[in-house]
Structure 1
């Protein structure tokens, strides 16, 4: 499992996780080489950087001056997998961990205190890693969810079974959480105020030898120019796993996968 827990711990927002309960609220990446990771994502996504509050191995990525993601240079130190991890907002980290474990999930880290909140890292019952966060949000959530992380997608064995697992943890579609569940063909779609914030699709294999075929969450970042991102990734030691006119699945120089999705931006 990827033990990745990187958060800005300043007071960027007074909104807390009660307001967006059940929704994705942050993404984080482990890295073997912080400088190389910064250079790669600056070239590909145009990010700038600031130190994290947890010490030298941690950095916060900024897009247009706004925190959008966390990077932790601990993969080699702690022998972790290199991967992007999404975090979901919860009212109680303890309750969310208990719910996940009762439904066959596992807890790798936490809950632990990371002021101004608490976090835990878990895996669902098919092995896909995700995190939870209780406390103040790290940035303007409405702007964050509709800008750089366009949405997240779970590639899993059975989309409907996974939707039940996550729905029972995060109260999706119950009226208690902030998200509604719908369906588009064989995909489960999670929406907030009409906007897609997560998708779940079937097809991943639990014992596949290729990690990209195993159950996992994939982060989709919104960009202006998919082709430019592809060229920058190739120039800076990354790779292209798939490409079409509006989207590309990329691999960074460490091997972490992510997707760039075309979107128009105002201004």
Structure 2
């Protein structure tokens, strides 16, 4: 599973995320022009565009690995959702973009996956979160389309905890689905979509670097007993959340 901001200016994206999140970049081995971001030597995300510019907004999009892109596309259409792009040949594999029945955009990839690239571990995204109207309906859709909760080896497990749907791979939480977002809301932070969360050691330094380099805060800083977080937008408008541990020394 991976996030990919599909923006037209890859150099700008690389400069921004290198300075804000400490990433360095290397070309993806699959040969489609995608750059893989690394933090502390571990893969974090991909930066690129699917088959060139799609004309849509620049966004962070989760891509889910699948065994057969055509089967996945058929399942999506059968359930009344939308195939937006593809499946198209992309380097050594095939990729596609789709929207679930509530309008949240996601991608899927058939092909080789970067080794040791897993949400919820090390420097990788802390977790993915889908905020939508009906968490139960979304869980059924993604479970059927992406074979979550299936019996084949390596499948993710689904559980219901505190009104959230939680997706785990082994002991790692990789995604959460939260209900209640209004799909008619004009605010993109509220509109049903997948959110990507990245861990950072210090929230203020990240906010300062992001605003200095043309990004902006898209939400106020929020807090819990254990963490602090904020939604940021990069210079091209892609939204992402950074999460830092709560300072308990005061």
Name segments (4+ residues, structure 1) moved above 6 Å.
73-76
Bigger relative contact order, structure 1 or 2, given CA contacts below 8 A and separation 6+? 1
For 2:181 and 2:22, locate their aligned partners in 1 and report how far apart those are by CA, in whole Å.
Answer: 31
Contact residue 75 and residue 82 of structure 1 kept, 8 A: no
5+ long unaligned stretches in structure 2: 246-250
Name the stretch that deviates more: 73-82 or 88-97.
73-82
What's the CA shift for 1:208?
A: 1.7
CA RMSD of aligned residues (A): 2.3
What's the CA shift for 1:77?
A: 5.2
For 2:54 and 2:189, locate their aligned partners in 1 and report how far apart those are by CA, in whole Å.
Answer: 22
Indicate whether 1:169 and 2:151 are aligned.
no
Q: Any residues of structure 2 matched to 1:211-250 within 5 Å, and which?
A: 211-240=188-217, 241-244=219-222, 245-250=227-232
Alignment correspondent of 1:22: none
5+ long unaligned stretches in structure 1: 1-24
For 2:111 and 2:53, locate their aligned partners in 1 and report how far apart those are by CA, in whole Å.
Answer: 28
SS for the counterpart of 2:165 is strand
Alignment correspondent of 1:117: 93
SS for the counterpart of 2:181 is coil
For 1:197 and 1:51, locate their aligned partners in 2 and report how far apart those are by CA, in whole Å.
Answer: 25
Alignment correspondent of 2:248: none
- TM-score, length basis structure 2: 0.86
Contact residue 242 and residue 250 of structure 1 kept, 8 A: no
For 1:74 and 1:108, locate their aligned partners in 2 and report how far apart those are by CA, in whole Å.
Answer: 11
For 1:35 and 1:259, locate their aligned partners in 2 and report how far apart those are by CA, in whole Å.
Answer: 21
- TM-score, length basis structure 1: 0.81
What count of residue pairs does the alignment treat as equivalent? 237
